Chains A and B, each alone.
Chain A
Amino acid sequence: MVAFIVRRLIGLVAVLFAISVLVFLIFFATPGVDPSARLAGRNPQPETIAAVKHEFGLDRPLPIRYLLMMQRLFISRDLVSYGNQALKVVPAITEAAPVTFSLVIGAAVLWIVVSILMGLAAVTFKGTVIDPLLMIIALIGISMPVFWVGEMANLITQDRLHDTFLFSWVPPLGYTPFTQDPWQWFLHLIIPWITLSILYIGFYARVLRANMLDIQNEDFVRTARAKGLSPRGVLVRHVLRNSLITFVSLFGLDFAVLVSGGALLTEVVFALPGVGLLTFNALTNLDLPVIMATVIYGAFFITILSALVDILYAQLDPRIRPT
């Protein structure tokens, strides 16, 4: 196990290095235009271009440029946005992160609970109309673009039905920090949580159902039945528990993807000032330093989290632990 962890960590360092090189190449070595003009934002002044040239060492060879960029991103953390002079990129990201975490964690709780319930219901009622009905609902959930669902939710709760008793509690778009007013924080996030989780509820319910149907044919399930366990006991204690192995590994990855930028669309639609909205605002002025930083922090976060999930997974399931 220790050898496995050590090997996984060495692999992790190699991947982090490769990611940083790839991002560097995308932003600095794509042919067609001088990278300083690209980094300086829309319609830059000549002075800005000269400053960018100097700060990123663009007159020096590639490996040195790479080191300079890494130093500015991770050690001195003083990367500045040129489209938006006052903005220091790295502190802006750390400030926005709690918003994204609030959004994703709430949605994750919602989608875990609902998708497990849906999966269990589909398996229990297999052979009746309830199972295909639930799966069709799940499929529709997968097929809806999240930003469109968000717009529709806004249309209903903010405008058309806002004055009825149903949705009069919905606060205007935006965000209130948890430390300032937990109740307002909760109210502001309910609709975004539901919107974000719909896709994952559909996907996880389908995966869970297929998995549980597979596992129902395994020998140990037959043994459990033969022992005289109640059908519900078999379903929850044996079938569900084994299906959760796949569920956990999928969940780790999806959670990481959402935190590191995948929740972008939801944040944009609901005007939540998280990392995604920061990236979006940078997109609209083509503010490349910000995008570069969010991409690299996002990819790093995912890689580190997925290494942790792998280690946890090996701890949970000895069968896949390589020796």
Chain B
Amino acid sequence: MARVLYGGRASLTIGVISAVLCTLIALALALLAGFFRGFSDTLISRTMDLIWAFPVYLLAISLATVLLTTPNGLKLGPITISPSSLWLPTLIIAVIYVPYVFRPLRGQVLSVREKEYVEAAVSQGASNLRLMFSDILPNVISTAIVLLPLMIATTILTEAALSFLSIGVQPPKASWGTVIGDGQDLLYTRPLVAIVPGIFIVLTVLALNVLGDGVRDALDPRAKVRVRD
């Protein structure tokens, strides 16, 4: 039980941080691609398509195994991430889901860019940065917020799966996924070890999915129409 509660901390932290990180990266890329169009759009969109072509689990598995076999950790400039750190699964999960958030956001940016108020801002001589941050960003951020709870649900499930496969959270740290993995060997003698963390995952993810549906109905006018009829 203590391990389940302790593991919940890792699961939730990884789930939330990687979903937020993923949404932020996707938002930045979508702004760049949708605003400048042309070459930068082609470059970013093609890269996203390429990541999209991989099955998420296979991409996560290859990144995780490569990084886990790197004894001194991944060096990103001045920061070093050791293989046992919680940041490793967080980063991997954030990266693999970027295209899934990027696609709808880019479409949104492209359509907002054509609106009259953006044109008005251009005629007032607004700079590119000003256009991006004060005219376009506020209008696409609601889409990002709608996607966020659903993304957290997905990232929690992915983290659990990777940890279950022993390539997510590394011992001695624990998460719900690692506890279920440990429980597999004790399944017939002490079934509660596997049952309890699973119920925690189901409840958390279910709550996030319901929340996500609610947020979508509240913020996305098109979906609201659909609910009414």
Binding site for B on A (CB under 8 A): 15, 18-19, 22-23, 26-27, 30-33, 37-38, 139-140, 142-148, 151-152, 154-155, 158-160, 210, 213-214, 217, 257, 260-262, 264-265, 268-269, 279-280, 283-284, 286, 288, 291-292, 294-295, 298-299, 302-303, 306
Q: Which 6 A-B pairs have the closest CB atoms?
A: A148-B198, A32-B70, A143-B205, A143-B206, A159-B188, A257-B55
**Whole-angstrom CA separation of A15 from B50 in the bound complex:** 7
**Whole-angstrom CA separation of A30 from B50 in the bound complex:** 18
> Whole-angstrom distance from the CB of B116 to the nearest CB of chain A?
29
The total of chain B residues at the interface (CB under 8 A) is: 48
**A-B contact sample (18 more), CB < 8 A, given A145-B201, A299-B58:** A30-B67, A30-B70, A30-B74, A31-B75, A32-B75, A33-B72, A139-B206, A142-B205, A142-B209, A143-B153, A145-B157, A148-B201, A151-B180, A155-B191, A260-B55, A261-B61, A262-B57, A288-B69
Contact partners of B206 in chain A: CB under 8 A: 139-140, 143
Picked from A159, A213, A214, A261, the residue with its CB within 8 Å of the CB of B58 is A261
Contact partners of A286 in chain B: CB under 8 A: 65, 68-69
Q: Is B69 within 8 A of A148, CB to CB?
A: no
Q: Is A144 within 8 A of B202, CB to CB?
A: yes
Q: Of residues 91 to 134 in B, which have CB atoms within 8 Å of A's CB atoms? A: none
Picked from A32, A146, A283, the residue with its CB within 8 Å of the CB of B165 is A283
Contact partners of A210 in chain B: CB under 8 A: 226
Interface of A is mostly: helix
Contact partners of A217 in chain B: CB under 8 A: 229
What is the count of residue pairs linking A and B with beta-carbon distances less than 8 angstroms? 146
Picked from B63, B75, B160, the residue with its CB within 8 Å of the CB of A26 is B63
Residue of A nearest to B153 (CB): A143
Q: Of residues 137 to 195 in B, which have CB atoms within 8 Å of A's CB atoms? A: 153, 157, 160-161, 164-167, 177, 180, 183-184, 187-188, 191, 194-195
Q: Is B198 within 8 A of A145, CB to CB?
A: yes
Residue of A nearest to B160 (CB): A145
Picked from A15, A152, A268, the residue with its CB within 8 Å of the CB of B195 is A152
Q: Is A299 within 8 A of B54, CB to CB?
A: yes
Q: Is B209 within 8 A of A26, CB to CB?
A: no
**Whole-angstrom CA separation of A130 from B181 in the bound complex:** 36
* Cβ-based interface call for B73 (8 A): yes
Residue pairs across A and B with Cβ atoms less than 8 A apart, 17 shown, are: A19-B53, A33-B69, A140-B202, A143-B201, A144-B205, A147-B161, A214-B226, A261-B61, A262-B57, A265-B161, A280-B165, A291-B65, A295-B62, A298-B58, A299-B58, A302-B55, A306-B53
Q: Is A32 within 8 A of B164, CB to CB?
A: no
Binding site for A on B (CB under 8 A): 49-50, 53-55, 57-59, 61-63, 65-75, 153, 157, 160-161, 164-167, 177, 180, 183-184, 187-188, 191, 194-195, 198, 201-202, 205-206, 209-210, 226, 229
> Whole-angstrom distance from the CB of B149 to the nearest CB of chain A?
12
Residue of B nearest to A279 (CB): B61
Q: Is A261 within 8 A of B57, CB to CB?
A: yes
Contact partners of B166 in chain A: CB under 8 A: 283-284
**Whole-angstrom CA separation of A299 from B177 in the bound complex:** 25
> Whole-angstrom distance from the CB of B46 to the nearest CB of chain A?
8
> Whole-angstrom distance from the CB of A291 to the nearest CB of chain B?
6
Q: Is B209 within 8 A of A143, CB to CB?
A: yes
Contact partners of B69 in chain A: CB under 8 A: 33, 37-38, 286, 288
Contact partners of B153 in chain A: CB under 8 A: 143
Q: Is B164 within 8 A of A265, CB to CB?
A: yes
**Whole-angstrom CA separation of A210 from B68 in the bound complex:** 42
Q: Is A302 within 8 A of B66, CB to CB?
A: no
Residue of A nearest to B83 (CB): A32
Q: Is A18 within 8 A of B165, CB to CB?
A: no
> Whole-angstrom distance from the CB of A29 to the nearest CB of chain B?
10
Known pairs A33-B71, A140-B206; A260 contacts B201 (CB<8 A): no
Q: Is A151 within 8 A of B50, CB to CB?
A: no
> Whole-angstrom distance from the CB of A152 to the nearest CB of chain B?
7
Residue of B nearest to A16 (CB): B53
Contact partners of B59 in chain A: CB under 8 A: 295
